[in-house]
Amino acid sequence: MTASIREFVGQLPIVDVHEHHLPEIILQREVNLVQLFQQSYAGWARARPYCLPSESRAVDPMLTAAGPTSWEALAPFLDQSGANAFVRNLVRAVVELHGSGAPEITRDNWQTLDAAVRAAHRRPEWRHEILNRARLTTVITDAYNDPLLDPRPALGANYRSVMRINSLALGWHPQARDHNGNRAHELLARVGLGASSFDEYLAALEKLVAGMPARGQVALKNALAYDRDVNFDDPDERRARAAWGQVAPPPAERKAFGDFIVDHLCRIAAAHDLPVQMHLGTGLLRGSHPLGVAGLIERHPRTRFLLMHLAYPWSRDLLGMAFVYRNIWLDLTWSFLLSPSHFKLALHEAIEVLPDETRLMLGGDNWHVEETYGAMQTARRLIAEVLEEKLAGGYFSDATAERLARRMLQDNARKFFRLE
């Protein structure tokens, strides 16, 4: 790699379009080394924190307390899952930020690293220092445990949030909850809204969206791929209304209700010039293929959709959609943590296929700043490698590579989320 493009990408500020910086976790003062692993995607390598339809869980493993750090507690991550890309990303960040030159966490250095992690997190400035070192100018957080969070008072003026709509799409009954435990009717009540009929519910959702800018919320977030399939079919109003008021509507009525509400929210989002960020790929795997949302995207040409994670493992299908539908933008978040090598392949193709240079942006998707720092380092390295390969092949010139990098890391997100 030539020094120039690597250095250029390395020094660029980043607008981070997706994190899970939850005040409950990121503001904790007692954080140890094993907790960094448990509350990260390295943790997902050991325990999937959401249920498949055949499963149930008592608590979210991401939000349960970690015990004291020991080699026995670290070994499952470092030894059994040590080759996993999530683990590699976090190990690299931890040794860079807390270590003294050793490239791995070992039986010999884990105690020193654990003490350094605990000391760092006791200092309130630690979080800001690391985000500055990662050159993040703005962070958009998805507080899935508090979908109406205004992040600015707790986390800082450079934070914005997204409003998760999962519980809204499942709000046929006051007791209905999404996979994170949120209830639509409780959210409405918190901002002085209520609904005793289906029509009142639709009107209340309009007001809920209208209130987003005042809460520092810059997009709606559809993560329904963790609650149901993403086949948001043509709205069937009769069936959707039939679900209203039932504790446990039949599956077809639940789906119709969700389809109808998602359609309604996409229409309102366009009216308020707010984009819709949508999780695709993995999740409930059988129902998360990106083509499932094609109908929704066609029905709402004025809604701006930010489709996430390269819809791994269906990135090529997603790129085909992003070529055809001009109301699609791509959020590369998570794809480079899942598989760095697939990310590079897909980014090469994305650069070639996408209709213009405004379409790509990225985020970290993490709970602690160490993993966010690692994600940004990984993203910079991989993006620079791809641009270098394009330069070496004569695909474009330095000026084009630098302009594209600046757009991917900051300009596109700033314009897309109207952050100016």
Residues forming the site for Zn ion (CB under 5 A)? 365
Cα gap 161→240, rounded to integer Å: 29
CB of 244 to Zn ion, least distance (A): 30
Place of tokens 């897909």: 346
Torsional sign, CA 70, 339, 298, 212: positive
Residue with smaller CB distance to Zn ion, 19 or 411: 19
CB of 123 to Zn ion, least distance (A): 27
CB of 332 to Zn ion, least distance (A): 12
Q: By C-alpha distance, which of 151, 207, 147 is closest to 181?
A: 147
In a 3-state reduction of DSSP, which class is residue 177?
Answer: strand
CB of 251 to Zn ion, least distance (A): 26
CB of 178 to Zn ion, least distance (A): 14
Cα gap 381→383, rounded to integer Å: 6
Residue with smaller CB distance to Zn ion, 253 or 365: 365
Residue with smaller CB distance to Zn ion, 263 or 331: 331
Residue with smaller CB distance to Zn ion, 105 or 337: 337
Residue with smaller CB distance to Zn ion, 365 or 371: 365
Q: By C-alpha distance, which of 153, 166, 158, 93 is closest to 132?
A: 158
Strand-by-strand arrangement of the 136-141 sheet: 14-19, 136-141, 159-164, 217-222, 276-278, 305-308, 328-331, 360-361
Enter the tokens of residue 411: 């300009």
CB 335 within 8 A of CB 306: no
Residue with smaller CB distance to Zn ion, 40 or 69: 40
CB of 363 to Zn ion, least distance (A): 8
Residue with smaller CB distance to Zn ion, 227 or 365: 365
CB of 168 to Zn ion, least distance (A): 18
| CA within 13 Å, CB half, 68 | 3
Nearest 10 degrees: Cα torsion 160, 193, 177, 169: -70
Residue with smaller CB distance to Zn ion, 110 or 226: 226
* Residue nearest Zn ion (C-beta atom): 365
Residue with smaller CB distance to Zn ion, 263 or 365: 365
Residue type, 104: E
Cβ neighbours of residue 165 under 8 Å, at least 6 residues apart? 147, 220, 221, 222, 224, 261, 262, 265
CB 362 within 8 A of CB 409: yes
Long-range CB contacts for residues 352-355, cutoff 8 Å, separation at least 24: 353/319, 353/320, 353/322, 353/323, 354/319, 354/322, 354/323, 354/330, 355/322, 355/323, 355/326
Cα gap 114→70, rounded to integer Å: 9
CB 214 within 8 A of CB 244: no
Residue with smaller CB distance to Zn ion, 235 or 281: 281
Residue with smaller CB distance to Zn ion, 142 or 263: 142
Task: Please confirm whether the linkage preceding 313 is cis (ω < 30° from 0).
Answer: yes
CB of 362 to Zn ion, least distance (A): 12
* φ/ψ bin of 394: left (φ > 0), alpha (ψ from -120 to 50), beta (otherwise): left
Could you give the C-alpha distances from 301 to 11, 26, 273, in angstroms and in order?
Answer: 36, 37, 12
CB of 256 to Zn ion, least distance (A): 27
CB of 157 to Zn ion, least distance (A): 23
CB of 26 to Zn ion, least distance (A): 14
